[in-house]
Amino acid sequence: MTNLPVSLDSQESLARDLGAVARISAVPSILRMICDETGMGFAAVARVTDTSWTACAVQDNVGFGLKPGGQLELQTTLCFESRAARAPIIIDKFSESATYRGHHTPAIYGLESYISVPIILPNGEYFGNLCAIDARPAQVSETRIVRMFEVFANLIAMQLESEKRQWSTEAQLMSERETAALREQFIAVLGHDLRNPLAAVNATAEILSRRHADPDLTNMGKRLKATVFRMSRLIDDVMDFARIRLGSGMRVAITPDEDLAVHLRAVVDELRAANESRVVTSHFDVRATVRCDTGRIQQLLSNLLANALTHGSTDAPVVVEASSDETHLVLSVTNDGEPIEPHLLAKVFEPYWRPPTSAPGGGLGLGLYICKQIVEAHAGTLEVVSTADAGTRFTARIPVM
């Protein structure tokens, strides 16, 4: 039989369809039963498009010579006409058929009997035909034979539709995984490429901030350092958010920290230096050894304190407190100012959420979301209480062991 040239896309599509039919375990039994019940020597499931006829599965008892993947010239087959009409074509004996007696198909292939029933998927897509042929006459127009073909064609169609859905789901999943991997690479490269120029800017800011003989340059350097610090925090938040959403989760390396209070004071000092016009008071009573990821706990405090400085009243101090007992580390940050509306409290830890009163350029809205992830990665809890009298207070409770 002829293997006709087809495009690359068609080859891929046909290969997929051949595989789908091959995975339907009932097809070989169906074709054998068709030959047994009709007495015909050849039966096949064919993929029929508007340009090609391809055998997907074959039962060949007479040496017709067509194998799965083999193709016939579409116009030489009656499946071409069946597809156009979306209807079966059934012929007991070509030589006695008023319609098909002089048709070219039986002349080309030496046929006397023929039956072809469309395989139409539940979504209405025309897949192909379930057909049988023989050089001898056969009583294929009998109601039970036609009904058998229709039932089998419907069964194959339903199985193909199921295969198609599964393939689509798997292809979508693979595409999502590839996209996720590319996104992870993009975020990593972006973080690296942003940090290099940021380090250069920070070095320049450091030099300017030491020009004590020129107060204007000193102040410019300090403002530039504050901007660099803020940009660095944004990069950290974006990268953490990307890893969490890509399934990596919040990465923590838990180790004993005997000097956590020292590390927390360093964070407060850093933010004080970046916000010289604001008052930040702190009290640390952390005496126990705390098992934690020190860097992440510093990031937690940095985000909470930066949030308080951004949204709190500029006329009142921000209060940072940390204490520990035998079971928990308790870390809190409190600021005065307009309270968060009760109906918005549940939203503050959602990614990209910002208060309706936020000024443009106030951040991405990832800081508190990252805080929540850090605390939960330490098996702790993070809560917020906000009232006009007591201000807004974020409290993290983290097990120390």
- pLDDT band at 248; cut points 50, 70, 90: low
pTM of the model: 0.50
Residue 293 or 172, more confident: 293
Q: Mean pLDDT, the chain, as a whole number?
A: 87
C-alpha–C-alpha distance, residues 110 and 108, integer Å: 6
Residue 268 has pLDDT above 90, yes or no: yes
Q: CA 80 → CA 71, 84, 124, 158, distances in Å?
A: 13, 6, 17, 22
Handedness of CA 207, 212, 216, 218 (dihedral sign): positive
Residue 261 has pLDDT above 50, yes or no: yes
What SS3 class is residue 169?
helix
Residue 143 has pLDDT above 80, yes or no: yes
C-alpha–C-alpha distance, residues 94 and 113, integer Å: 6
Residue 13 or 82, more confident: 82
Nearest by Cα to 88 from 96, 97, 78, 98: 78
Nearest by Cα to 163 from 47, 28, 17, 11: 17
Residue 241 or 310, more confident: 310
DSSP 92: S
C-alpha–C-alpha distance, residues 59 and 71, integer Å: 15
Opening angle at CA 24, ends 19 and 25, nearest 5: 125
Query: Mean pLDDT across the stretch 284-291?
Result: 90
Query: Mean pLDDT across the stretch 359-371?
Result: 73
- pLDDT band at 6; cut points 50, 70, 90: very low
Q: Which long-range contacts (CB under 8 A, 24 or more apart) does 241-247 make?
A: 241/351, 241/366, 241/369, 241/370, 242/183, 242/184, 242/187, 243/184, 243/187, 244/373, 246/180, 246/183, 246/184, 247/180
Q: Which region among 56-60, 163-167, 377-381 has the lowest average model confidence (pLDDT)?
A: 163-167
Residue 218 has pLDDT above 90, yes or no: no
Nearest by Cα to 396 from 286, 300, 267, 271: 300
Per-residue pLDDT reduced to its tens digit, 98-108: 999 999 999 99
What SS3 class is residue 125?
coil
Q: Which positions ≥6 away from 84 have C-beta within 8 Å?
A: none
Q: CA 368 → CA 13, 125, 373, distances in Å?
A: 48, 50, 9
Residue 371 has pLDDT above 50, yes or no: yes
Distance of CA 304 to the CA centre of its chain: 31
* pLDDT score at 263: 93
* Structural domains of the chain, ranges and CATH numbers in brackets: 8-171 (3.30.450.40), 255-399 (3.30.565.10)
C-alpha–C-alpha distance, residues 222 and 227, integer Å: 9
- What is the chain's percent helix, strand, coil content, to nearest 5? 50, 20, 30
57-78 burial, b for 16+ CB within 10 Å, e for fewer? bbbbeeebebeeebbbebeebb
Given the structure tokens 């035998």, which residue do they identify? 326
* pLDDT score at 227: 77
**Which helix (H) or strand (E) covers residue 270, if one does?**
helix 260-274
Per-residue pLDDT reduced to its tens digit, 320-330: 999 998 899 99
